[in-house]
Amino acid sequence: MMCEHVEALIDKIIKRQAVVGIIGLGYVGLPLARAFANKGFAVLGFDIDSRKVRALNRGESYIKQIPATDIQQMRSQRFEATDRFDRLNEADAVIICVPTPLTESREPDLTYVVNSVRAIAEKLRAGQLIVLESTTYPGTTRKVALPILENKKLMVGRDFFLAFSPEREDPGNQNHGLANLPKVVGGHDPNSQRIATTLYGLIVPQVVPVSSPEVAEACKILENTYRAVNIALVNELKVLYDRMGIDVWEVIEAAKTKPFGFQAFYPGPGLGGHCIPIDPFYLTWVARQYGMNTRFIELAGEINTAMPQYVISKVTDALNDLGKPVKGSRVMILGMAYKKDVDDPRESPGFELMELLLHKGAKVSYNDPHIPKLPHMRNWPTLKMESTPLSPATLAEQDCVLICTDHAAFDWDLIAQHAPLIVDTRNALKKAKVKARHVVKA
């Protein structure tokens, strides 16, 4: 199907005359906005958080991996942030990068996506491209977004265009940014595919076109489910090998010397980040709509979500071996970010570990060089605390130091030398030259 809007929009994109609108200026949306701004596009960023909007327009950043100098450069390159969604008609391409959490019953919560699409629909005009990047179950773009957008006057593929292109953000890893990774794109129709492919082709090294939005949606779920299942495997082996007196970390290091048929995954205190702990459950939910139970994925979820309880049991046993109960013991958690060297706390197991320890009566503190103050978390609204500075005296007065995230900024020799008891969930003390007094791997 050919129409005037297709060629006109492609021409604007190629000439960098198109305005790119991005809804959601978080860990996905803000790097995307930077990528388009750096390639010469005018970028209009939308967010419901007026504090973020004001900070960005002042040239400030709230994400560690994006320095303020980058925001200031973006501002000089025609980037503007706004909380006025009535300006969505100003954008030629609108990309949705909002959270897709789970409900308490572990079902998809598409509230942010639906609200974003409805806001777009109110201002939708001919000649616009709409792309969903938020991770979701296969069928969301066609069955949830499209019915809200399409009306009697505007038809998809003729008047406006629709696609799904999953984000591939790896916070803290500069080698895995937009400039280095292929981008999967699934258009609703050939015109949508052509336009979306043209747009992304100007900011990424390779566009991988697929036959439909459903394939692109399923691709993202597969990527994250693959990691979740393999992490569950090593987490289960960690528990088994611990009972057998075998160091799972040494086993993995030995196994990874095999140059084929094996990829190393590592255990931890639980899954973190917005993707891996959540996305597989989107697939299990949609599978039930087709009369199927995804037993493999659900089992992996059970294993991974049980890890915080396992860690607390190791802390309890370790304190008990020293003649101390958990109740009244001073426990410091090292690292509240979900992975090393980032300031991203989303779904971090540190919050559950903290709440479990507090429930048992422990006197809990934490240190995280990247998170000086605990942010408000939807699932942990009562956890309010500031990072306690690390010092020999502070470490020495703890009954237990629990390593949750192995930030490179931590002085492992200082920790090993002064902490009387360390429960290490990341094999972090392998980096220390000083031998710790009492270490338990969990």
Same domain flag for 47 and 83: yes
pLDDT score for 152: 84
Whether residue 81 is found in the same domain as residue 158: yes
pTM of the predicted model as reported, rounded to 2 decimal places: 0.90
pLDDT of residue 82: 98
Structural tokens at position 36: 């388009």
User: Are residues 236 and 319 both part of a single domain?
Assistant: no
Of 176, 171, 203, 173, whose CA–CA distance to 27 is shortest? 171
Q: State pLDDT tens for residues 204-240.
A: 999 999 999 999 999 999 999 999 999 999 999 999 9
Give the separation between CA 387 and CA 404, rounded to whole angstroms.
14
Residue 2, pLDDT score: 52
Strand, coil or helix: 94: strand
d(CA 139, CA 280): 15
DSSP string, 295-343: HHHHHHHHHHHTHHHHHHHHHHHHHHHTT--STT-EEEEE--SSSTT--
Residue 271, pLDDT score: 80
Task: Please state at what angle helix 68-76 crosses helix 50-57, rounded to 10 degrees.
Answer: 70
For residue range 264-306, list pLDDT tens digits in order: 999 999 887 666 777 788 888 888 989 998 998 989 989 999 9
Q: Are 311 and 333 in contact (CB under 8 A)?
A: no
Domain final position from 211, 227, 261: 211
Q: pLDDT value at position 1?
A: 47
Asked if 277 and 271 touch (Cβ cutoff 8 Å), the reply is yes
Q: How many CB atoms lie within 10 A of CB 250?
A: 12
**Residue 171's pLDDT is what?**
67
CA distance 354 to 366: 9
CATH of residue 133's domain is: 3.40.50.720
| Polymer length in residues for the chain | 442
User: How far, in Å, CA of 18 to CA of 9, rounded?
Assistant: 7
| Residue that is last in its domain, among 253, 280, 305 | 305
* One domain for residues 411 and 400: yes
Could you tell me if 295 and 366 lie in one domain? Answer: no
Cα 35 from Cα 311, distance rounded (Å): 40
Q: Answer yes or no: do 296 and 319 share one domain.
A: no
Name the percent of the chain lying above pLDDT 70. 97
Q: What is the DSSP letter of 143?
A: I
Question: Is the domain of 364 the same as that of 411?
Answer: yes
The pLDDT tens digits for 63-83 are 988 999 999 999 999 999 999
Q: In the predicted model, what is the mean pLDDT of the chain?
A: 93
Asked about 400 being catalytic, the answer comes back as no
Into how many domains does the chain fold?
3
Active-site pick, 3, 97, 275, 404: 275
- Closest C-alpha to 226, from 275, 182, 177, 270: 275
| Residue pointed to by tokens 């605390």 | 385
pLDDT per residue of the chain (442 residues) written in tens, 0 to 9: 457 899 999 999 999 999 999 999 999 999 999 999 999 999 999 999 999 999 999 999 999 889 999 999 999 999 999 999 999 999 999 999 999 988 877 888 999 999 999 999 999 999 999 999 999 999 999 999 999 999 889 999 999 999 999 998 776 666 767 888 999 999 999 999 999 999 999 999 999 999 999 999 999 999 999 999 999 999 999 999 999 999 999 999 999 999 999 999 999 998 876 667 777 888 888 889 899 989 989 899 899 999 999 999 999 999 999 999 999 999 999 999 999 999 988 889 999 999 999 999 999 999 999 999 998 887 788 898 999 999 999 999 999 999 999 999 999 999 999 999 999 999 999 989 999 999 999 9
Is residue 185 a contact partner of residue 201, using CB atoms and an 8 Å limit? no
- Least Cα distance to 425 among 339, 345, 346, 356 occurs for 339
The percentage of the chain sitting over the pLDDT mark of 90, rounded to a whole number, equals: 82
User: Which among 177, 211, 245 is the end of a domain?
Assistant: 211
- 219 shares its domain with 188: no
Determine the 3-state secondary structure of 77 from DSSP: coil
Q: What CA–CA distance (Å, rounded) separates 153 from 143?
A: 19
| Statement to judge: residues 117 and 129 lie in one domain | yes
Give the domain range for residue 246: 212-305
Evaluate whether 282 touches 135 at the Cβ level (below 8 Å).
Answer: yes
- Confidence (pLDDT) at 344: 87
Cα separation, 245 vs 186, in Å, equals 49
Clarify whether residues 392 and 340 are in a common domain: yes
Residue 194 shares a structural domain with residue 335: no
User: Is residue 9 located within the same domain as residue 117?
Assistant: yes
Which pLDDT does position 245 carry in this prediction?
96
